[in-house]
Amino acid sequence: MARLRLDHVSKRYGDFHAVRDVTLDVADGEFVVLLGPSGCGKTTTLRMIAGFITPTAGGVHLADREVTGLPPWKRNAGMVFQSYALFPHLSVAQNVAFGLEMRRLAKADITTRVAEALKLVRLDHLAGRLPRQLSGGQQQRVALARALAIRPDVLLLDEPLSNLDAKLRQEVRVEIRELQRQLGLTTVMVTHDQEEALTMADRLVVMNEGSVRQIGGQRDLYERPADRFVAGFVGRGMFLTGRVEAPGRFRTEGGLALACDGGASGPAVLALRPERLEIGPAPLSGLDNSLPGTVEFISYLGAASDVHVRLSPSDRVIVQVANRGGDAAPEIGATVHVGWPATAGRLFAPGGDPPSL
Ligand SMILES: Nc1ncnc2c1ncn2[C@@H]1O[C@H](COP(=O)(O)OP(=O)(O)OP(=O)(O)O)[C@@H](O)[C@H]1O
Ligand SMILES: [Mg+2]
């Protein structure tokens, strides 16, 4: 049984669709991540679940109850906002108590629950401080405690880690995930950071321009992206434009003849991933494609290098070369050969993105 259900939910501002016909079921205890570029409707979706925004169409169901028109304090969703939104004049403990007071719990219960929530996020020793007397990471944990204190049916996290430095972000990621597992919390988190999404989610929802483009596990999205947008947003994608001349035969606009995996004749885009390409000083045998090119640029990234290779005046690819010690990566200006099996490429309709209204 779904703990949270969005049923054809839309939000319009005038004739602008901030969120368009989103349908999503989140199972009990599941950790779902909404992933998409800035402005795609992630926060709007989360706020409709929490009750801060009323949908223009569709329904929100929480723990088997329709809550679409109910205000936030009459539904049991705990939200951590993009900016934390702590009350600056209230202490840590008062901030955490806020949602409980809104729900008119007895004073003794509030005290117990505040202590319990602060203990969960390991801030019990700072209950009397004001937000400005806390570090960014501690403020983030107060916001989390405030959401947990109401014992929510669903925990909503809006880019909860965006104000933290890279190292702290990695630690807090693990902390949130462990706490979520330990409490069995049904969680929806928003991020535009694909690495964060891939490491934390049970399931991902990729959004663009207000619409859901694909829902699935990490492997589904990466190996079987539904469209060009998803292919470019989850993992890294390179796109060669051209046409399928016959099933299995692709010709780029730059004139390269390539082997592809099936495909219907007509204009198309061939998507490749840098880590699926091979590179060598001589033609690569045993691969469906092997093409000569010139190295134009190299980015050294530590664990790997990105080698940018010009294959034709209008076709350039990036090959990711793992760092195995020694000098495996070629030099700028070198002639190299780049190869890949036909099955490493995916074909999409040209343009890929639906027209925006
Ligand atoms: N009150 C409003 N009136 C008009 N347009 C709005 C309103 N609130 C949001 N929008 C628009 O709706 C779209 C979605 O906004 P939303 O805040 O959901 O984006 P987001 O995916 O959370 O982006 P970000 O990653 O930048 O936080 C944006 O184009 C935004 O400008
Ligand atoms: Mg947002």
Measured from the CB, is residue 206 less than 6 Å from ligand 1?
A: no
Which atom of ligand 1 is the closest one to the Cα of 82? 27
What is the per-residue pLDDT across 277-293, written as a single tens digit (0 to 9) for each? 999 999 999 999 999 99
Across 6-41, b (16+ Cβ under 10 Å) vs e yields bbebbbeeeeebbbbebebbbeeebbbbbbbeeebb
Measured from the CB, is residue 75 less than 6 Å from ligand 1?
A: no
Residue nearest to atom 18 of ligand 1 (CA): 41
> Does residue 249 have a pLDDT over 50?
yes
Residue nearest to atom 22 of ligand 1 (CA): 43
Percent of the chain with pLDDT over 90: 74
Measured from the CB, is residue 38 less than 6 Å from ligand 1?
A: yes
> Which pLDDT band, with edges at 50, 70 and 90, does 325 fall under?
confident
Considering every ligand atom, which ligand is closest to the CA of 42?
1
> Which pLDDT band, with edges at 50, 70 and 90, does 357 fall under?
very low
Measured from the CB, is residue 41 less than 6 Å from ligand 1?
A: yes
Measured from the CB, is residue 169 less than 6 Å from ligand 1?
A: no
Residue 122 pLDDT: 86
User: Any idea which residue has 């169409």 for tokens?
Assistant: 57
Measured from the CB, is residue 11 less than 6 Å from ligand 1?
A: no
Mean pLDDT over 198-220 rounds to: 95
Residue 21 pLDDT: 97
Which atom of ligand 1 is the closest one to the Cα of 192? 25
Mean pLDDT over 158-171 rounds to: 83
2-13/57-62 β-pairing = antiparallel
Considering every ligand atom, which ligand is closest to the CA of 36?
1
Measured from the CB, is residue 42 less than 6 Å from ligand 1?
A: yes
Q: Give me the long-range contacts of 123-131 (CB less than 8 A, separation at least 24).
A: 123/92, 126/92, 127/91, 127/92, 127/93, 128/91, 128/92, 128/93, 129/91, 129/92, 130/88, 130/89, 130/90, 130/91, 130/92, 131/84, 131/86, 131/87, 131/88, 131/90, 131/92, 131/95
Which residues have a Cβ under 8 Å from the Cβ of 326 and sit 6 or more positions away?
Answer: none
Superfamily covering domain 2-229: P-loop containing nucleotide triphosphate hydrolases (3.40.50.300)
> Does residue 109 have a pLDDT over 60?
yes
Domain locations along the chain:
2-229, 236-348
Residue 246 pLDDT: 95
Cα-to-centroid distance, 39 and ligand 2 (Å): 7
Measured from the CB, is residue 13 less than 6 Å from ligand 1?
A: yes
Residue 172 pLDDT: 83
Residue 356 pLDDT: 34
Mean pLDDT over 128-134 rounds to: 93
Q: Mean pLDDT: which of 43-57, 107-121, 167-181, 318-332 is highest?
A: 43-57
Percent of the chain with pLDDT over 70: 97
Q: Fold for domain 236-348?
A: OB fold (Dihydrolipoamide Acetyltransferase, E2P) (2.40.50)
What is the per-residue pLDDT across 33-85, written as a single tens digit (0 to 9) for each? 999 999 999 999 999 999 999 999 999 999 989 999 999 989 999 999 888 88
Q: Which residues are 156's β-sheet partners? A: 79, 188
Distances (CA, A) of 97 to 63, 115, 138, 288, 293: 23, 10, 17, 63, 64
Of residues 108 and 164, more confidence is placed in 108
Mutate to test the pocket of ligand 1, among 15, 44, 80, 192 (most ligand atoms within 8 A of CB): 44
What is the per-residue pLDDT across 5-39, written as a single tens digit (0 to 9) for each? 999 999 999 999 999 999 999 999 999 999 999 99
> Does residue 354 have a pLDDT over 70?
no
Which atom of ligand 1 is the closest one to the Cα of 46? 18
Residue 328 pLDDT: 64
